[in-house]
Amino acid sequence: MGILNLRKSPATAAQPIVTPVETKRDWRVFINLPWLLYKNDPHWVPPLKSEMWDTVIPKKNPLMKLGPYQYFIAWLNGQPVGRIGTGIDEKLNREKNKKEGYITLFESVNDYNVAKELFDTALAWLKERGITTVTGPQSPSNGDDYRGLLIKGFDSEPVLLNSYNPPYYVDFFDRYGFTKFFDRYAFYYDLSKPVTKRFEESVDLLKKRYQFTTRNLNLKKLDQELVGIQKLLVRSWPEDWPDMVPPSLPEIQDEVNKLLPVADKDLLVVAEDAQGEIVGLAIALPDYNQVFKKLNGRLFPIGFIKFLWYKKKINGGRSLILMVDPAYHKKGVSAAMYLHMFQSALRKGYKYGEGSTIHEFNTKMVNDAIRAGGDLYKIYRIYRKDL
């Protein structure tokens, strides 16, 4: 698959060594490493290599624009055996008054010495820059992709953009001295279970009582829609979210540009009040992991034909964003957007949905997910360590 030609390290040693990613060749090794580590894992879904290249290009990555960063590769006996990224979100630190760094895209063979060398190197890099705590694994793009370490739900494939890792990673983090910061939940929905007539009627009553409607996002007026969405996020973003702050308009535009190629307009929903102001946002995406599983990381030349074929067979989706203006809490806005997406998914023949990921301390949304019939089947952990 091409990676076999990239296995030579700058030096050969009996103990793992870690080197910074500096050249395009280094990046190629970094990106291709999972194909070596997961080649015999039936649940791993290969990411698109083109997407991973975009993730490590600063002009296309919102997180790389927010502060310094460095990526590393671990080598053992001349072979790449692990990787890690680290950096500083200076915007987060300013707004939360922190000196915090992050780690991301950690991978390693089943050898604690390799993991330890990667952690040591990344954390030393952060300490040199005055950082006092580190959290992770965080999203490499400051989005909702690959955020958190999978600690529950190893027996099934991840849904689009979610993390997947072997169970031994949990031991590596615990053994090194990382501790739980918080968990993020993923709920599974069996869409064969119908929404009750009573639920539909109650949603209609609430929409009339509180004078709001739901509709699909207007992609033809996307710039105008994004302005309203950014205002909504500022109003509704919980202050107690420790690792995230409301995104700026350019950050939202970066994230939208990344998601649009896999978006389905029927699953992009907003709620608006009587004056046309956006008071709720719900975004779900088709589970393209069903397609990516067939492509082995490549769209071209043959992969694109496979993509178009298997795209028609997608029968599930992931709801990854649900935001409601605080002034409209407990007024049925989230239920109305859920019903809107549920009905759209059924028309497409979807069999399942995943609601993820929800912070464990977001008790309102957790309870809403359970009441809507969600089964907590995967948990992703964000770790923390003082330096």
Q: In the prediction, which pLDDT does 334 show?
A: 87
Which one-letter DSSP state was computed for residue 274? Answer: T
Hey, is 363 helix, strand or coil? helix
* Pairwise CA distance, residues 279 & 329, whole Å: 10
Q: In the prediction, which pLDDT does 11 show?
A: 47
For residues 254, 257, 259 and 263, what is the CA-based torsion angle, rounded to 10 degrees?
150
3-class secondary structure per residue, 163-219: CCCCCHHHHHHHHHCCEEEEEEEEEEEECCCCCCHHHHHHHHHHHHHHCEEEEECCH
Q: In the prediction, which pLDDT does 244 show?
A: 65
The answer on pLDDT for 20 being more than 90 is yes
Q: 73 or 301: whose pLDDT is higher?
A: 73
pLDDT band of residue 176 (cuts 50, 70, 90) is: very high
Residues 125-152: tens digit of each pLDDT: 999 999 999 999 999 988 888 999 999 9
Burial of residue 200, with CB atoms counted within 10 A of its CB: 0-12 exposed, 13-18 middle, 19 or more buried: middle
Overall average pLDDT of the 270-292 stretch: 92
pLDDT band of residue 3 (cuts 50, 70, 90) is: very low
Overall average pLDDT of the 341-349 stretch: 90
| Alpha-carbon distances of 66 from 58, 79, 140, 319, rounded to whole Å | 10, 32, 12, 27
Which one-letter DSSP state was computed for residue 321? Answer: E
* Pairwise CA distance, residues 93 & 250, whole Å: 19
Structural element, H or E, at residue 225: helix 222-236
Contact 198, 141 (CB under 8 A): no
Interhelix angle 249-259/222-236, rounded to 10 degrees, is 120
Domains of the chain with bracketed CATH: 3-183 (3.40.630.30), 189-380 (3.40.630.30)
* Pick from 67-76, 265-274, 319-328, 367-376: least confident: 367-376
Give residue 192's identity as a one-letter amino acid code: S
Q: In the prediction, which pLDDT does 1 show?
A: 35
The percent of residues above 70 in pLDDT, for the chain, comes to 93
| Alpha-carbon distances of 182 from 157, 257, 261, 357, rounded to whole Å | 22, 29, 31, 12
pLDDT band of residue 2 (cuts 50, 70, 90) is: very low
Q: 350 or 11: whose pLDDT is higher?
A: 350
Overall average pLDDT of the 9-14 stretch: 52
Overall average pLDDT of the 56-77 stretch: 91
What's the whole-number average pLDDT of the chain?
A: 88
The answer on pLDDT for 37 being more than 70 is yes
The answer on pLDDT for 341 being more than 70 is yes
Q: In the prediction, which pLDDT does 273 show?
A: 92
Q: In the prediction, which pLDDT does 362 show?
A: 84
* Pairwise CA distance, residues 20 & 74, whole Å: 9
Q: In the prediction, which pLDDT does 6 show?
A: 43
Contact 46, 295 (CB under 8 A): yes
Residues 198-225: tens digit of each pLDDT: 888 999 999 999 999 999 998 888 888 8
* Pairwise CA distance, residues 19 & 337, whole Å: 48
Contact 52, 27 (CB under 8 A): no
The answer on pLDDT for 7 being more than 90 is no
The answer on pLDDT for 236 being more than 90 is no
Task: Show the CA angle centred on residue 236, arms to residues 233 and 237, nearest 5°.
Answer: 75
Burial of residue 60, with CB atoms counted within 10 A of its CB: 0-12 exposed, 13-18 middle, 19 or more buried: middle
Overall average pLDDT of the 28-34 stretch: 96
| Alpha-carbon distances of 277 from 259, 280, 281, 312, rounded to whole Å | 23, 9, 11, 34
Q: In the prediction, which pLDDT does 4 show?
A: 37
Q: In the prediction, which pLDDT does 262 show?
A: 79
Which one-letter DSSP state was computed for residue 246? Answer: P
Q: In the prediction, which pLDDT does 242 show?
A: 64
Hey, is 379 helix, strand or coil? strand
Give residue 324's identity as a one-letter amino acid code: V
